[in-house]
Amino acid sequence: MESANPPLRRNRNYQLAWFGEAISSLGDIVFTTSVVLWVGAIIVKGHLAPAAVSGVLIAAMVPLVLLAPIGGVYADRWNRRTTMLITSAIRAAVVGALVLLPVYGDGLHTGIKLTLVYAAVLADSAAAQFFNPCRMGLLAVIVNDSDRERVSSITQATSAATAIIGPPLAAPLLVGSGQGVGWALAVNAASFVVAFAALAAVRVSAGDVTPSEAKPASTAWQDFTAGLSFIRRSRVLVTLLVVIVIVTFGAGAINVLDLFFVTGNLHLQAQYYGLIDAALGFGTVVGAVAFSVIGGRLPAHRVLPVGLIVVGVGAAVYSRSTALWFALIVLFCMGVPLAAVNSMAGPLVFRSTPRDMLGRVFGVITPVQQAASFGSIAIATWLASTVLSGLDARVLGIHFGPIDTIFLFAGIIILCGGVWALANLRTAGGPVAPAVADEVDAATATLAHPVVVEQREPEAETATKSHSD
């Protein structure tokens, strides 16, 4: 049965977890912005700066792709709260040690400086791949199922707010001050200390944050394959993975080419690109705040596909923009349902997945989304640079160029994904049934002790009871 947690406004555990995550996320934004500017404007200057900055991004992304599935497996094997505390301490120590570089490292060779920066970013990102799935498992314990939509919307609003507040906090780097670098790194290190303290104050029983010891012994690989098998057999999770890929493909194409849309289709100077990004971000914040208030009254399995459909239509309309004011209005309107889409995916995962499987499920979703992002960037830039580079056509009086055509098809893809999700998620409203968890245990037992057993198809989509640990 669902844990008897108090409502969010009186849920001290959730409030502590939210506060720690908000401070940590703000520190991450400051850290990322500071390191990019530090490497590209201070450590390396000139024509090699872009390559040096790309190294920072690669160092952050490699653990996400390679370690997220592993982190998900161990999030389902270890004590989640303890793992979060340890990784928070590791991240604080890594970033704290990096503070010494701008203070005492002036005499070091540029290559050594870059190596130390890349190593710190790599270690920080690696620790995050164990922290993040454990956080999802902790939320499954301290938040009631009826509050999941609101919690996810609050998370989206917090993430959007930190993305707006964070970069200006790294402003000291803009004047080229070495002390500014140190302060920015210290802010991030301190954020992990605050997150550690907030998490340490969360009160949950060991049994609620540690996987059941009654299961037969299994290896990490067997647990991972059991997780993949569970995902493959869950219509809700398969639908969500496909939706994530579709949305990421469409959004990625727009993000990577938006600058060229501003200069080529809106006929504006490049500096107006910031307004485009701000309009979508503002709409996302408004949407996240709105759904944090009304989210619990709307079923996630309906809001997500309808939101996708609206976003797809908005992207198609945006592709026809020729004036800045019109583009800003459309992007703001797109941001509101986009926040709903981002907010409703989490509750669907929680309701379709038993607690002991959450780490593995989120550990698969993260690299899949990242791979889709890489693919969308590669395909969109390739189309714009080769196949569609010379497109200049009119159909029924409507002009089609390379960038707006890609945006139009991105919108159509997102729209079709929403329609498909609407059909596949029509019965996904209930929380995960105990029967599904029993099947997961049986699958793990089969992997650990190979015998021939008959397994039936999981019924997570039609279940109405909560999973009980």
Q: Mean per-residue pLDDT for 261-288? A: 84
C-alpha of 201 from chain center: 25
C-alpha of 424 from chain center: 23
Q: What are 441's two structure tokens? A: 């245990």
Q: Say which residues have a Cβ less than 8 Å from residue 283's Cβ, sequence separation at least 6.
A: 331, 332, 333, 334, 335, 336, 338, 339
Q: Mean per-residue pLDDT for 28-56? A: 81
The three-class DSSP label of residue 215 is: coil
Asked if 406 contacts 391 with a C-beta cutoff of 8 angstroms, the reply is: no
How sure is the predictor about 180, in pLDDT bands with cuts at 50, 70 and 90?
A: low
Backbone angles phi, psi at 134, to 5 degrees: -65, -35
**358 vs 428, residue with greater confidence:** 358
Which residue, chain included where needed, has tokens 């505390």? Answer: 85
> CA-to-CA distance for 83 and 131, rounded, in angstroms?
7
Global pTM reads 0.74
Predicted local confidence at residue 40, as pLDDT: 80
* 9-23, 34-48, 74-88: least confident range: 34-48
Answer whether residue 207 shows pLDDT above 60.
no
Give the max Cα distance, the chain. Answer: 68
Answer whether residue 432 shows pLDDT above 80.
no
- Give me the DSSP letters along 361-406: HHHHHHHHHHHHHHHHHHHHHHHHHTTTTT--EEETTEEE-HHHHH
**210 vs 302, residue with greater confidence:** 302
Answer whether residue 443 shows pLDDT above 70.
no
Q: Mean per-residue pLDDT for 85-89? A: 93
End-to-end CA distance of the chain: 8
Model confidence over 312-363: pLDDT tens digits? 999 999 999 999 999 999 999 998 998 888 888 888 898 888 888 888 998 8
Beta strand pairing call for 393-395 and 398-400: antiparallel
Answer whether residue 192 shows pLDDT above 50.
yes
229-424, CATH topology level = Growth Hormone; Chain: A; (1.20.1250)
Predicted local confidence at residue 433, as pLDDT: 44
Q: What residue spans define the domains of the chain? A: 8-215, 229-424
Predicted local confidence at residue 52, as pLDDT: 86
Question: Does residue 216 come out as left (phi exceeding 0), alpha (psi in the -120 to 50 range) or beta?
Answer: beta
Answer whether residue 8 shows pLDDT above 60.
yes
Predicted local confidence at residue 459, as pLDDT: 35
Q: What's the CATH code, domain 8-215?
A: 1.20.1250.20
Average pLDDT along the chain: 81
* 73-82, 119-128, 447-456: least confident range: 447-456
Model confidence over 98-111: pLDDT tens digits? 988 887 877 888 89
Q: What are 51's two structure tokens? A: 């390559």
Predicted local confidence at residue 212, as pLDDT: 52
